[in-house]
Chains A and B, each alone.
Chain A
Amino acid sequence: MPLLETRDLTRHFGGLAAVNHVDLTVEKGEIVGLIGPNGAGKTTCFNLLSGFLRPTAGSIAFDGEDITGRRPHQIAARGLVRTFQLTTLFQEMTALQNVLLGLHLHSGTGLRQLLFSRRDFPPDEVARGREALEFTGLAAHADQLTKNLPHGHQRVLGIAMALAARPRLLLLDEPVTGMNLDESGRVMDLVKTIRGHGTTILLVEHNMKAVMGTCERIVVLNFGQKLSEGTPSEVSTSRDVIQAYLGTGVNHA
């Protein structure tokens, strides 16, 4: 049974079919890339999978359970956690506080802890938060305000928070956009390490080098429809894909 399976997933915005009859499957333990030209429907697809948008038609199954139409926090609770494009973070909090919020799903804070504990947070939660920062290489920045972190660190912090929520499937929305070669290499290594720990990954990314070097399988969207699917080498040599990205060739007489 695939970890994630969509059938006929469709979303209309007025007359526009942003996502149109997409069948997408992700097997346990895979790193799958979702690519396509701008406006192909990748982000809409993510918003559908994570519950921020309701599909117009079609269904989404996660680990055998139908999650179509569930609300975002319910989907996160089942182990399907997403990150956001750019730096959607809690900017006025410290890095550690950001990660502590990621632990939200797995914290058993009762009223007694809220009102009568001398500490603001249970020590084991703080320890787990620091662990997540350690794992992503941000331990030294735990107590800095997020808005003061460099761009690359902010992007990684987004991943650390999602990891704290203990996802079984992690959706990464453009994790290395705007990074230099060195930084993006490190993030892609991190992605592989995360998979090594048993988390399946579906990512959207425009940086082809990163996608081709990391993903085992790639799904190409164009105008909301699935255009092609296969290994990186299959996809990168597919005529349909090349046409979608570069347009049709001009026939010289």
Chain B
Amino acid sequence: MRRRAGALGVLSVLIVLALLVPRFGGDYYVHIFALVFTNVILAASLRPSLTCGQLNIGHSAFMSIGAYASALLAKNLAVPFELSLLGGAVLATLVGVVIGYPSLRLRGVYFAMVTVAFVEVIRLIAQLWVSLTRGMSGLSGIPKPNLLGMTLTTKAGQYYLGLALMLIVLLILWKLEHSRLGLIWKSIGMADNLAQSLGVDIARHKLLAFMLGCFFAGIAGAFYAHFIRFLFPPEFGFLMATNILVYNYVGGRGHFAGAIVGAIFLSLLSEPFRGSPYETIFFSIAMLLTILFLPGGLITLPEKLAGLRRWRAAAAPTPSPAA
């Protein structure tokens, strides 16, 4: 309970800070932080599947589907943003069911290989279906997001929309993870045979966790599309999918906050390298350092430091009795 209160305190401070960014930061920071919000949604939405023990290295594919679907609905059919956002998320979920239903019976590395192949397939479709997606010329002219008929013309307005979307998604995912459903995901990840013997339909729950991830990745993609207003197929490739995974591992998989911490920390730190070859190197180094020094991720850092301090305190005041 006390830990929960502490987490709520930290969260409120962060939200207040986030609300102040457009006021005191320039457009540059507004832009960067709005991208951080999409990364947080992506990282957190991968958790249900990861908790079930499913290594999904193709999450960016569902973001891509949500982004293109919402953009095309809005651009070609003048669908309002609320509906195109939902449409993108629903399409991402439907595709998720088609790909997930047959492959969720696969375990470990075999499932991971399917997701890797899938992310490439989606990228190639976006690249080659030129009549629909404009292929490598990129899809431009995506309308700005609108809410209840009002277009959010300023970057700041769109930023607040992203913040609100992120908070809603996080609230839903947090609530689910701490409910019976979350306990079931954890049980499947730890010992799926025992879960089955207690009556858990593991195939159904794995699919449900996977679908949730697809839905929210679709939301993140739709927001991204209407915020950046330009979609380019290679952006949603294998690299972004592994980045989403790395957010989770570097942040720490043992706690819901891990995905959030990892996504914020790495997106901000990797900002100078974005789009350059150094980005890959940066993420690889972050992953290696985590595995070597903080296997529990960044969220275990305070615990580790406290342990270190206790150890120092115990070691320091013991001068030899002779002295």
**Contacts from A to B (Cβ < 8 Å):** 50, 52, 71-73, 76-77, 81-84, 88-93, 97, 100-102, 104-105, 107, 109, 113-115, 117, 120-121, 161-162, 164-165
Contacts and interface: CB of A to CB of B under 8 A. Distances in A.
A164 B179 CA distance: 18
A90 B200 contact: no
A100 B201 contact: no
Given A73-B201, A76-B197, A121 B180 contact: yes
A84 B197 CA distance: 9
Contacts of B176: 114-115
Interface in B184-206: 184, 186-187, 190-191, 193-202
B23 interface: no
Contacts of B304: none
A14 B201 CA distance: 29
A234 to B, nearest CB: 32
Contact of A165 (B175, B178, B198): B198
Q: Which 10 A-B residue pairs are closest in the complex by CB-CB distance?
A: A76-B199, A105-B199, A72-B196, A114-B179, A73-B201, A90-B190, A109-B180, A120-B178, A73-B199, A88-B194
B191 A161 contact: no
Given A114-B176, A115-B176, A92 B198 contact: no
Contacts of B195: 101
Given A90-B194, A104-B200, 19 more contacts: A52-B196, A71-B201, A73-B199, A76-B198, A81-B197, A82-B197, A84-B193, A93-B183, A101-B187, A102-B198, A105-B198, A107-B180, A109-B179, A109-B180, A120-B178, A121-B179, A161-B194, A162-B197, A165-B198
Interface in B166-181: 172, 175-176, 178-181
Nearest to A107: B180
Contacts of B187: 90, 93, 101
A72 to B, nearest CB: 4
Contacts of B175: 114-115
B193 A73 contact: no
